[in-house]
Amino acid sequence: MADLTTPRSFQEIILRLQAYWAEKGCAIMQPYDMEVGAGTFHPATTLRSLGTRPWSAAYVQPSRRPTDGRYGDSPNRWQHYYQFQVIIKPSPPDLQEIYLGSLKAIGIDMDLHDIRFVEDDWESPTLGAWGLGWEVWCDGMEVSQFTYFQQVGGHDCHPVSGELTYGLERLAMYVLDCDDGNEMPFNDPDADIPLTYGDVFREAEAQYARWNFDVADTDILLQHFKDAEAECARILEQPADDLKTGRHIIMALPAYDQAIKASHVFNLLDARGVISVTERQAYIGRVRTLTKMCADAFVQTDAGGAASP
C-alpha cells in the first residue's frame, strides 16, 4: 500500500497514517473527548499501557498547550495542535522498521533523506511515567518521539509498550514543504473549497490565546482544580461492589477523567502566570498523585489485566 507520491494536504497525511497503522493491525481509535496536553494522556495510552493484556491502537489526539498560544501569528506554534499516537503492547521486535514504513507511507523517500534515531528519554512528571527511546530526525528535524514505556502511574510496565508520537503540524509542514503552517493546505488544494490550516484554526487561536493568557478566571480555575482533585479521590474511595447491579465495578476511568481535568486546569493556570516556580512542583505532584491512584485502580480491573474475581 505504500504510496510514494507526496501527500497534498494535512488531512491526507493523517489519512495515510491511519491507513498504514490500520494495515499493521492497530485499532484506529478516535480522539479522547477531553482537553489534554498530549496524546499520551488518552486513556488508550496511559491506562492501557498498564497490566498484561496485549494492546494495539492508533489515533489522532487534538492537544492543548495554552502557553504555546501565539494568537495565530506564529508560523509553527499553536496552543491547539494535533498529535498522532501509536501504542503497541508488547512492543514488537521490528517496531523501528514498521515505524520507518510509516514515513515512507507519507511520502518520505528514504533514499534521499537522512533519518536518525537520537537519544531522548521521555518523562512525564504528571503521569508518573518514564521511558527510553529517541527523537527521530529527518534531515535534522524531529519528526517523531519513539519511546519504550518503562513505568506509568508509578507501575513498572510488564510487558513494555512501544509508543510513537508524531507532531502532525511540524511533520506535515515538512512533507508538504510549507514554511508557514497557517498556509498549509488542510484539505485537497484542488477541492472546490480549498481550506488552509489557518482558515480552520487562525480565528480560534486568537480567541483562545486571549482567553488563556488574560481572561480565564483564575479563582474559578483554582476551584476547578480542587473540585477535580476531590472528585477523583471520591470516585476511587467507592467500594468496588455496586449495590444496585451487584457487580464488581472499579471506576478507574471516570476517576482518570478528573485527573485529566486537573492537569488541563493546571496548564491554564500556568498560562495565566499565577503559579510560582515552587508552587509549580507542588501542583505537578498533586496531579501525579491522582494519576497514580487511577493507575492503581486500573490494574485491579479486567482491562488492566487483573484476573476476574
Footprint on this chain of other proteins (rule: CB under 8 A): 75-76, 90-93, 96, 110-119, 121, 131-134, 138-141, 148, 150, 157-160, 162, 174, 179, 276-278
State in angstroms the smallest separation of the CB of 260 from other proteins.
Answer: 27
Which triple of cell numbers denotes residue 17?
497514517
Identify the CA nearest to 88 among candidates 163, 167, 166, 165.
163
State in angstroms the smallest separation of the CB of 117 from other proteins.
Answer: 4
Give the rounded distance of the alpha carbon of 106 from its chain centre.
20
Which triple of cell numbers denotes residue 256?
482518570
CA torsion, ordered 266, 270, 273, 275, to nearest 10 deg: 60
Q: For residue 52, which amino acid is it? A: T
State in angstroms the smallest separation of the CB of 188 from other proteins.
Answer: 24
Q: For residue 209, which amino acid is it? A: A
Residue with smaller CB distance to other proteins, 167 or 236: 167
Q: For residue 83, which amino acid is it? A: Q
Which triple of cell numbers denotes residue 204?
480560534
Residue with smaller CB distance to other proteins, 109 or 217: 109
State in angstroms the smallest separation of the CB of 88 from other proteins.
Answer: 10
Residue with smaller CB distance to other proteins, 71 or 188: 71
For the chain, percent helix, then strand, then coil, each to nearest 5? Answer: 40, 20, 40
Question: Is the CB of residue 182 less than 8 Å from the CB of residue 170?
Answer: no
Residue with smaller CB distance to other proteins, 139 or 203: 139
Residue with smaller CB distance to other proteins, 35 or 270: 270
State in angstroms the smallest separation of the CB of 94 from other proteins.
Answer: 9
State in angstroms the smallest separation of the CB of 244 from other proteins.
Answer: 39
Which triple of cell numbers denotes residue 74?
506564529
Distances (CA, A) of 140 to 114, 159, 180, 206, 255: 8, 32, 18, 31, 41
Residue with smaller CB distance to other proteins, 62 or 159: 159
State in angstroms the smallest separation of the CB of 228 from other proteins.
Answer: 26
Residue with smaller CB distance to other proteins, 134 or 266: 134
State in angstroms the smallest separation of the CB of 113 from other proteins.
Answer: 6
Q: Can you tell me which residue has the cell 501509536?
A: 86
Give the span between the Cα atoms of 11 and 27, in whole angstroms.
19
Residue with smaller CB distance to other proteins, 113 or 248: 113
10-23 vs 168-175: helix crossing angle, rounded to 10: 110
Give the span between the Cα atoms of 96 and 236, in whole angstroms.
38
Residue with smaller CB distance to other proteins, 174 or 225: 174
Question: Is the CB of residue 36 less than 8 Å from the CB of residue 268?
Answer: no
State in angstroms the smallest separation of the CB of 180 from other proteins.
Answer: 11
